[in-house]
Amino acid sequence: MAFGILEDHKLDNVPGTGLLSAKVNQVTVHETRELKRGTGKHSHIVLIPQPSGDPRDPLNWSRWKKEACFWTLIFATTLAAALNSPASAGYGLLARKFHESVDEVASSFSAAFLGIAIFMLVQIGLASKYGLRLMFLLSSFLDLSWQLGFWFAGLAGGVCFVGVFFLVPETTYHREGYSEHTKVLDADDKDSIKKTARTPATQDTEMQKPGLNAPTQPSFLSQLKIYNGTFSDESAWKIFARPFPFVLSPVTWFMFLSITSLCLSTIFTITDHFKPTQIGLIHLAGLVGSVIALLMTGPLNDRTIVWISQRNRGIYEPEYRLVFLLALLFGVFGYAGWAIGIDKHMPWIGAAACIAMINMSLTVGGGASTAYLLDTHGANAMHVLSLINSARDLLLYGATFFANGFIVSRGIKMTLAVLAICQSVALLASIMMYVYGKRVRSFVARHPRLFHGDLPISDCSQSAAPVAETDSKH
Q: How confident is the model at residue 454 (pLDDT cuts 50, 70, 90)?
A: low
Looking at residue 84, what is its pLDDT? 65
Mean pLDDT value across the chain: 76
- In this prediction, residue 130 carries a pLDDT of 86
Quote the percentage of the chain above a pLDDT of 70.
78
In a domain, 12, yes or no: no
Digit-coded pLDDT (tens) for 186-242: 434 434 333 333 344 444 444 444 445 667 788 888 888 888 888 888 787 888 887
- State the total domains in the chain: 1
Give domain status of residue 154, yes or no. no
Give residue 224's pLDDT.
Answer: 84
pLDDT band at 349 (very low <50, low <70, confident <90, very high): very high
pTM here is: 0.73
Q: How confident is the model at residue 32 (pLDDT cuts 50, 70, 90)?
A: low
Per-residue pLDDT tens digits for 267-306: 888 888 888 888 888 888 888 998 899 888 877 887 888 8
Is a pLDDT exceeding 70 seen at residue 473?
no
Q: Percent of the chain at pLDDT above 90?
A: 11
303 falls within a domain: yes
Residue 152 resides in a domain: no
- Report the alpha-carbon distance of residue 469 to residue 42 in Å, rounded: 14
Question: Has residue 57 been placed in a domain?
Answer: no
Residue 70 belongs to some domain of the structure: no
Confidence of residue 332 (pLDDT cuts 50, 70, 90): very high
Question: Which residue type, as a one-letter code, is found at position 101?
Answer: S
Q: At residue 174, what are phi and psi to the nearest 5 degrees?
A: -100, 100
Q: Identify whether the C-beta of residue 301 lies closer than 8 Å to the C-beta of residue 327.
A: no
DSSP string covering 104-161, please? HHHHHHTHHHHHHHHHHHHHHHHHHHH-HHHHHHHHHHHHHHHTTTSHHHHHHHHHHH
Residue 333 has pLDDT above 90, yes or no: yes
Q: Give the structural domain span for 409.
A: 18-50+84-131+170-198+236-464
* Residues whose CB falls within 8 Å of the CB of residue 228, separated by 6 or more in sequence, listed in order: 130, 131, 133, 134, 170, 172
Please report whether residue 412 resides in a domain: yes
Mean pLDDT on 170-184: 58
Question: What is the pLDDT at residue 198?
Answer: 38
In a domain, residue 11? The reply is no
User: Does the pLDDT at position 144 exceed 70?
Assistant: no
- CA–CA gap between residue 434 and residue 21 (Å, rounded): 21
